Amino acid sequence: MSHPHPELGPPPKLPKGALRVTPLGGLGEIGRNMTVFEYGGRLLIVDCGVLFPEEEQPGVDLILPDFTSIRDRLADIDGIVLTHGHEDHIGGVPFLLREKPDIPLIGSKLTLALIEAKLQEHRIRPYTLEVTEGHRERIGPFECQFVAVNHSIPDALAVAIRTPAGMVVHTGDFKMDQLPLDGRLTDLRTFAKLGEEGIDLLLSDSTNAEVPGFVAPERDISGVLRQVFGNADKRIIVASFASHVHRIQQILDAAHEHGRRVAFVGRSMVRNMGIARDLGYLRVPPGLVVDVRSLDDLPDDEVVLVCTGSQGEPMAALSRMANRDHQIRIVQGDTVILASSLIPGNENAVYRVINGLTRWGANVVHKGNAKVHVSGHASAGELLYFYNICKPRNLMPVHGEWRHLRANAELGALTGVPKDRVVIAEDGVVVDLVNGIAKIVGKVQAGYVYVDGLSVGDVTESSLKDRRILGDEGIISVFVVVDSTTGKIVGGPHIQGRGTGIDDSAFVAVTPKIEESLAKAAADGVGEPHQLQQLVRRAIGKWVSDSYRRRPMILPVVVEV
């Protein structure tokens, strides 16, 4: 199995008649999915998603793919194919369309409705092309055939991309639920036909490649939900992804069966469920859904709240309820259902929310103590079955952390894909399909691009390091006034600490050390303010380290008069 090397340089010029595949996100991580296909000087993009920040990225709202490698080629992009409407596949689209608003978006009805609503907030009116399963569409030199797959959102599609260099199939996110709530099966017949035609390169979802067996059907959750609803004698609060229409449908069905009314809480939940209802993907009995403001008029045992925050996001509704920072106050006897999985990296945040809710007396039902979630991604058994049907000549695992990519690669090899035709890449690694063989040929820039408020890309790793230091160790500011002629101190030093755990009165002990350093500098003829600031920083830094074993950020200011 081939794998990337850190010494990889820029890729060579694409050989004539070859197809280039460049993942800019989604490999080595869960999120930020984006893959660029190039043939004949034209580009086709599949998905453009976001990654949500972890604790070591304080202040960051979203993480985008790095568009650097395509920024000077935006005119060469013939379209963006969106496999489905999850944020990790469509959330980056507004930021790419800011740079060129007329790039066509191609996707299913629900996917396009979700991205259009998002783009409206960015004041972008996109050019869209709606497609359905079985549909074939020529997009520049790429002939795209769309294939139905089921996932944890309706209307998900895989895409087969035909070029003279060969056929590539990108699965998007998929599973093989044999009893889907909407009756829309993953179209194995079409995949088998594509396999007979000859799949030269298969890009396959890796998220559950480590999990043995098959994913349970979504409808298995219904019985558990009904049981929880039957046992609850006060309010029920359900946290779910704002796009999981099938999960919300089962919640609505259980609420209707038990004579409860439902209110959606959270902007994205209200927006997405409104879209799903208007397009007919969500069936809502008359009078079931009410405005959240009318809940005060209903008894607790007739109320269901459906909100966001299943991943412990600090500003989401559920987290704010746990922190007593929301209009909805958790009380003794409320039942809270977390109807979702734990995205890797979110475990601590989720359990913090569970503990907060439990503290206020809620009965918290989650994946760890009840079957209230099934995955939207194919497990190992399904992937083996899938590879045996498709018989790809080359395999490139996508969508997953390193352990998932490696496990998926092993599954492909077990089904007969030659080991030297299984390509384990990472973000930015360039793979060329030449004469039916996929090989790594180089690497392009594909780092994290941070969104912080209205700024995109202004936050760097260096500034995040500063934020972590400030959060962990605090800051000490030192203000000194020196005579510009003699270099002697004429004011200060004034020292203040914030978040260091060191009392300001303790800084009396370091004042002589600072004065000594500046006096020596004056005697040596050192008078440039920047140099003096470094001397002050070193003096107080050494004292803090020796006395407290801490490393706060030190901000020295030396003013000449």
- The catalytic site residues sit at 205, 377
Known binding residue 505? Answer is no
Beta-strand (E) ranges in 124-170? 128-130, 136-139, 142-148, 157-163, 166-170
DSSP string over 199-243: -SEEEEE-TBTTS-S-PPPGGGHHHHHHHHHHH--S-EEEE--TT
Contact 174/383 with Cβ under 8 angstroms?
no
474 is in an annotated binding site: no
255 annotated to bind ligand: no
Residue 84 annotated as part of some ligand binding site: yes
108 annotated as ligand-binding: no
Q: Is 200 annotated as a binding residue?
A: no
Q: Consult the annotation and say whether 341 binds a ligand.
A: no
| In contact, 248 and 281? CB cutoff 8 Å | no
Interaxial angle between packed helices 221-231 and 245-257, expressed in degrees from 0 to 180 and rounded to the nearest 10 = 40
Report the chain's C-alpha Rg in angstroms.
Answer: 28
The verdict on whether residue 366 carries a ligand-binding annotation is no
Is 59 annotated to bind a ligand? Reply is yes
Say if residue 376 carries a ligand binding annotation. Answer: yes
Flag whether 374 is marked binding: yes
Q: How many helices, marked H, and strands, marked E, lie in the chain?
A: 15, 25
| Dist. CA 477–CA 330, nearest whole Å | 42
Nearest partner of 38 among 23, 53, 54, 25, judged by Cα: 23
Residue 103 near residue 76 (C-beta atoms within 8 A):
no
Degrees, nearest 5: CA angle 407-424-384 = 40
Residue 143 backbone phi and psi in degrees, to 5:
-95, 115
Q: Is 412 annotated as a binding residue?
A: no
- Residue 28 counted as an annotated binding residue: no
- The answer to whether the annotation marks 89 as part of a ligand binding site is yes
Contact indicator for 228, 336 with CB cutoff of 8 Å: no
Q: Per the annotation, does 243 bind a ligand?
A: yes
Q: Is 246 annotated as ligand-binding?
A: no
Give the annotated binding-site residues for Ca(2+). Answer: 59, 61, 452
Instruction: Summarize the annotated binding site for Zn(2+) as residue ranges.
Output: 84, 86, 88-89, 151, 173, 399
Binding-site members are 59, 61, 84, 86, 88-89, 151, 173, 242-244, 373-377, 399, 452
